[in-house]
Amino acid sequence: MSPRRIAVTPGDPEGIGPEVGILALQALRDRSDVTFVPLGDEALWRRAAGLRGVPADLLRAEPVADPADLKLLHVDASEEWLQIPEVAAIATAVQGCLDGRFDAVCTGPIHKASLMERGFPYAGHTGFLAALCGLAPSDAVMVFAGGRLVVSLATTHIPLAEVPSRLTPAHIVRAAQGGERVVRQRRPGAPVRVAVCGLNPHAGEDGLLGSEDRDVVAPAVAQLRANGMDASGPWPADTLFGRAVEGEFDLVVALYHDQGLIPVKTIDLGRSVNITAGLPIVRTSVDHGTARDIAWTARANGTSMIAALEMAAELACG
């Protein structure tokens, strides 16, 4: 079998994405089963390589495509924001996966506020990836897989104040199904025990501390069980993650961004990988942001990017 080809995007050029990408490419340079293909401006990659003392012969960067040449499904190719280099790299990588030129994509972190100031209409990678694949944003599920925790998110980049009104049983069901698929891909044939967080303190105390756990979360868990999933909840979130770390559960479904990512990044920071489930392609990324405050100072740590590339290879070679 020929080596799997995995596209690597640099992310924000003012962030640490190019540096951690270079460090990861160097760390995994001896793998014979995978070819990692950096996309975008080769000068950017070479600058990062020079800063971190990485041999230039690692670099065979492929240029990004003109958006007009891409078969974008739910994105207007004439949009000016598609010309932003880091956005064009993502579009090129996803289209390459859909066309069969790549077997997976691993993305460097993007700077959401900076992109949105230039017209980018998505609150991050996830919605854009879904659109590039012809899916609704809600079809894509954020899953974080670390050394000791696997967590999927029912909602992602929305204000905390809006979570109770926007959370639905369908969001929870999709998050559980997406997370379960990731676990099964990594552990074929093994049982998957799924635990769903409560939204309110003590999972609502039977409605005394809010009705959402009774009226939204519990029906979602019942639906999952009716569909044959080994699911339970809602569980009080303050103790649930510890139980998962101890091995009682294989997947935790968190109901909002920080509920899931605080424990992941406390326990597995640098070892966890952001996986987008629900897409027809394999996509992984780091568990951190752009860290512009330390970019281009040779202080960036490539551990999470190494883990993300290894996960992309694992899922692509599956």
Residues 150 and 213 in one domain: yes
Q: What are the b/e assignments for 18-40, b being 16+ CB within 10 Å?
A: bbbbbbbbbbbeeeeebebbbbb
Model pTM?
0.94
pLDDT tops 70 at residue 58: no
Of 62 and 97, the one with more pLDDT: 97
- Confidence class of residue 71 from pLDDT cuts 50, 70 and 90? confident
Enter the DSSP assignment of 215. I
Q: What are the b/e assignments for 160-193, b being 16+ CB within 10 Å?
A: eeebeeebebebbbbbbbbbbbbbeebeeeeebb
Average pLDDT of the residues of the chain: 94
Tell me the C-alpha distance between 105 and 281, whole Å. Answer: 8
Tell me the per-residue pLDDT of 29-46, one tens digit each, with 9 for 90 and over.
Answer: 999 999 999 999 999 999
Residues 287 and 199 in one domain: no
Residues 119 and 20 in one domain: yes
Number of domains in the chain: 2
Residues 247 and 289 in one domain: no
Tell me the per-residue pLDDT of 212-239, one tens digit each, with 9 for 90 and over.
Answer: 999 999 999 999 999 999 999 999 999 9
pLDDT value at residue 77:
85
Residues 243 and 152 in one domain: yes
Residues 248 and 152 in one domain: yes
Tell me the C-alpha distance between 214 and 17, whole Å. Answer: 42
pLDDT value at residue 74:
75
Residues 6 and 86 in one domain: yes
Of 23 and 70, the one with more pLDDT: 23
Residues 67 and 176 in one domain: no
CATH number where 217 lies: 3.40.718.10
Question: Given the structure tokens 């780091």, which residue do they identify?
Answer: 286
Within the chain, what is the greatest distance between any pair of CA atoms? 63
pLDDT tops 80 at residue 279: yes
What does the pLDDT average to over 102-119?
97
Lowest mean pLDDT: which of 116-120, 136-140, 158-162, 294-298?
Answer: 136-140
Lowest mean pLDDT: which of 23-37, 51-65, 127-141, 257-271?
Answer: 51-65
pLDDT value at residue 60:
73
pLDDT value at residue 138:
87
> DSSP 3-state assignment of 152?
strand
What does the pLDDT average to over 108-117?
97
pLDDT value at residue 67:
78
Tell me the per-residue pLDDT of 142-153, one tens digit each, with 9 for 90 and over.
Answer: 999 988 999 999
Residues 27 and 56 in one domain: yes
Q: Please state, for a pLDDT cut of 90, what percent of the chain lies above it.
A: 86
pLDDT value at residue 215:
98
Lowest mean pLDDT: which of 52-61, 79-88, 179-188?
Answer: 52-61
- Confidence class of residue 21 from pLDDT cuts 50, 70 and 90? very high
Of 169 and 67, the one with more pLDDT: 169
Evaluate whether 143 touches 178 at the Cβ level (below 8 Å). yes
Range of the domain at 106: 1-137+279-318
Residues 253 and 317 in one domain: no
Residues 95 and 152 in one domain: no
Residues 148 and 92 in one domain: no
Q: Residue 300 contacts by C-beta under 8 Å, 6 or more apart in sequence?
A: 16, 19, 20, 23, 291, 294
What does the pLDDT average to over 184-204?
96
pLDDT tops 90 at residue 270: no
